[in-house]
Amino acid sequence: MLSDLSIRDVVLIDRLDLDFGSGLAVLTGETGAGKSILLDSLGLALGRRGDARLVRPDADRATVVAGFAPPEGHPVWALLAEHEIEPEDRLTLKRVLSADGRSKAFINDAPCGVGLLKQVGETLVEIQGQFDQQGLMDSATHIRLLDSYGRLDDARARTKEAHGIWRAAMKKLEDARAGAAQARAEEEFLRFSVEELDQLAPKPGEEADLAAKRTMLQNAEQIVEALTAALEEIGGGEGAESRVGAAQRTLDRVAAKAEGRLDPALAALDRASVEIEEALAALNRAGAEMDGGDSDVETIEERLFALRDVARKHKVEVDALPALRDTLGERLSLLDAGEERIAALDKEAARTREAYLEAARTLSEDRRRTAEALDRAVNAELPPLKLEKARFETQQDMLDESAWGPRGIDKVAFRVQTNPGMPAGPLDKIASGGELSRFLLAIKVCLAEVGTIPTLVFDEVDSGVGGATAAAVGERLDRLARRVQLLVVTHSPQVAARGADHWRVAKAERDGHMSTAVERLSDEQRREEIARMLSGAEITDEARAAADRLREGVRA
């Protein structure tokens, strides 16, 4: 609930500090005393639009701080956690409005955007009045209020879950259809590319092998010359092979006489002879491979360039061509099998749509029964509020399929008929200012048990009524205040007599300028204020006696 409100330099208020308790608090005062300034100030702290004209003429800025004590589990705590604002024992909303129209917002002294301040404020306070467009005046809230009144949380949760499953199935179907359409558009390209890659049959690492062979063959003449020279040096008439053989024969003739001393040398020469033979064989093989090199270069280059051309066309490396062929082949296979998959997904989407519709229709029927109960309850409240010819109705229409959502298939709006034979319409279009406030009061009384907003503000809910009707308004405000904190701006003594707290707003000249002050009234002061409201400018003993009777009747 709202625990305190501090106002600095707002219009006629230079400095004001108020603290509030639970139950019904009434604010009274002469017309023009500044009661609307209090509501404008509270609205600033709640994130409503700021206007530079709200800054007191001789001040640089206006400041409003509202303190709250929300109960544990209230939605505001989750909202603050979502925006990483640390919870404290109390919650403060602060707004600073400069004379140039710029403003700053704070939550628990942490800077924040005005948008977040407004979000937080809407969970804490609801202001109902002729010119307010939040709360019941916003038709977007009606379906939530109806569901809360009927305690339809479970049915709504089932509908939301079924909607999510249906939308997920539709997403898969849409993606598959889009993929198939794209595949069909490029089918010719896919088939040509797969055929081209199959004919080319690229192998991993082939580019490096071909490049190495190409480099070697391009230098074939030099290599052949070197091979020829090497063969001549090793195997020629005076080459290494001939000389090693001669050395072996020479040593063999005297080996027996050396008593084994030449054996290591002979063994080494044997090994050298074998290595020379292997070297000659390797040189001959290399020479054979170099034979006809011009034609091999052309073949290798043709293959290498073909691989590189295809790789450039697909914007991949040559080594990635084998994997690319597999990918393109899979896409082609999906195209061939796509119709079956799409048919299966279409069937699943239809099944989940029917499951969602079943849940939504059940919720819709629950809403219909709830709407009938709410209509009966609200209409029962109207006659005592001098709205005996008016009717309240909950209009429930089925949305187009394109608008179906997690909340179901219904559009819900509260509508009123002020006179028999006239068409029903939206609250703010049909009802006059006084009627509208009383309609809002009747609805709020019926919805009090299911609301989550702890503080309600009514601005002149008793406008245009008196006597028994004003007493009925006061009785309903009193009843509503047992469930929520209620602040009421009133000109009705019957309503004022119901207040647990009574504040008087007065305007007076001070230090050469007009200033608005707010005073919490004592018991005797309340008697005088209610008497003033009954009699006018001159307070008579009869008015005081009537005030006493009003207050005694309330206490009884």
CA distances from 510 to 14, 288, 501, 521 (A): 11, 119, 27, 21
Six-digit token pair at 416?
């009123």
Q: What are the strands of the beta sheet with 24-28, ordered from one edge?
A: 125-128, 455-459, 485-489, 24-28, 501-510, 513-520
Look at the block and give the residue holding tokens 């209230």: 74
Higher per-residue confidence, 257 vs 51: 51
Question: Given this model, what pLDDT does residue 31 score?
Answer: 78
Question: Given this model, what pLDDT does residue 290 score?
Answer: 63
Higher per-residue confidence, 413 vs 556: 413
Kindly state the average pLDDT of the residues 306-311: 89
Domain assignments of the chain as residue spans, ordered by start: 187-333
Q: Would strands 103-107 and 91-98 be described as parallel, antiparallel, or unpaired?
A: antiparallel
Residue 196 falls in which region: left (phi positive, over 0), alpha (psi -120 to 50) or beta: alpha
CB 491 within 8 Å of CB 533: yes
Cα–Cα distance measured from residue 105 to residue 121, given in angstroms and rounded to the nearest whole number: 12
Cα–Cα distance measured from residue 417 to residue 121, given in angstroms and rounded to the nearest whole number: 32
Write down the pTM of the prediction. Answer: 0.66
Instruction: Report the chain's mean pLDDT, rounded to a whole number.
Output: 85
Percentage of residues in the chain with pLDDT exceeding 70? 90
Question: Given this model, what pLDDT does residue 486 score?
Answer: 92
Residue 107 has pLDDT above 90, yes or no: yes
Kindly state the average pLDDT of the residues 110-125: 92
Question: Given this model, what pLDDT does residue 14 score?
Answer: 87
Question: Given this model, what pLDDT does residue 235 score?
Answer: 65
Query: What are the CB-based long-range contacts (under 8 Å, 24+) for 391-398?
Result: 391/416, 391/417, 391/424, 392/416, 392/439, 392/442, 392/443, 393/417, 393/424, 394/142, 394/146, 395/424, 396/364, 396/367, 396/368, 396/371, 398/364
CB atoms within 10 A of CB 303: 17
Query: What are the CB-based long-range contacts (under 8 Å, 24+) for 421-427?
Result: 424/391, 424/393, 424/395, 426/139, 427/136, 427/137
Residue type present at position 165:
I
Question: Given this model, what pLDDT does residue 517 score?
Answer: 87
Kindly state the average pLDDT of the residues 249-264: 76
Higher per-residue confidence, 2 vs 554: 2
Question: Given this model, what pLDDT does residue 6 score?
Answer: 94
Q: Angle CA(273)–CA(275)–CA(276) in degrees, nearest 5? A: 65
Question: Given this model, what pLDDT does residue 206 score?
Answer: 84
Kindly state the average pLDDT of the residues 317-331: 87
Helix axes 321-381, 187-200, angle to 10 degrees: 150
Question: Given this model, what pLDDT does residue 57 score?
Answer: 87
CA distances from 152 to 123, 144, 162, 165, 398 (A): 21, 10, 16, 20, 18
CB 40 within 8 Å of CB 33: no
Q: What are the strands of the beta sheet with 110-112, ordered from one edge?
A: 13-19, 2-10, 61-68, 91-98, 103-107, 110-112
Kindly state the average pLDDT of the residues 75-95: 90
Residue 546 has pLDDT above 50, yes or no: yes
230-234, 380-384, 402-406, 432-436: least confident range = 230-234
Cα–Cα distance measured from residue 210 to residue 297, given in angstroms and rounded to the nearest whole number: 10
Question: Given this model, what pLDDT does residue 377 score?
Answer: 94
Kindly state the average pLDDT of the residues 438-461: 84
Q: Binning pLDDT at 50, 70 and 90, where does residue 253 land? A: confident
pLDDT in tens, 336-373: 667 788 889 999 999 999 999 999 999 999 999 999 99
Q: What three-state secondary structure class fits 214?
A: helix
CB 367 within 8 Å of CB 152: yes
List beta partners, residue 393: 415
Question: Given this model, what pLDDT does residue 451 score?
Answer: 74
CB atoms within 10 A of CB 497: 27
3-17, 133-147, 217-231, 481-495: least confident range = 217-231
Helices (H), 407-466: 427-430, 433-447
Question: Given this model, what pLDDT does residue 555 score?
Answer: 64
Q: Binning pLDDT at 50, 70 and 90, where does residue 432 land? A: low
pLDDT in tens, 203-244: 888 888 888 777 767 665 666 666 566 666 676 666 677 777
Residue 135 has pLDDT above 90, yes or no: no
CA distances from 551 to 46, 316, 471, 519, 527 (A): 34, 90, 12, 20, 8
Question: Given this model, what pLDDT does residue 133 score?
Answer: 47
Question: Given this model, what pLDDT does residue 237 score?
Answer: 63
Question: Given this model, what pLDDT does residue 191 score?
Answer: 85
CB 489 within 8 Å of CB 27: yes
pLDDT in tens, 472-528: 888 889 888 888 899 999 888 999 999 999 999 988 877 777 888 889 999 999 999
End-to-end CA distance of the chain: 27
Q: What three-state secondary structure class fits 4?
A: strand
CB 276 within 8 Å of CB 240: yes
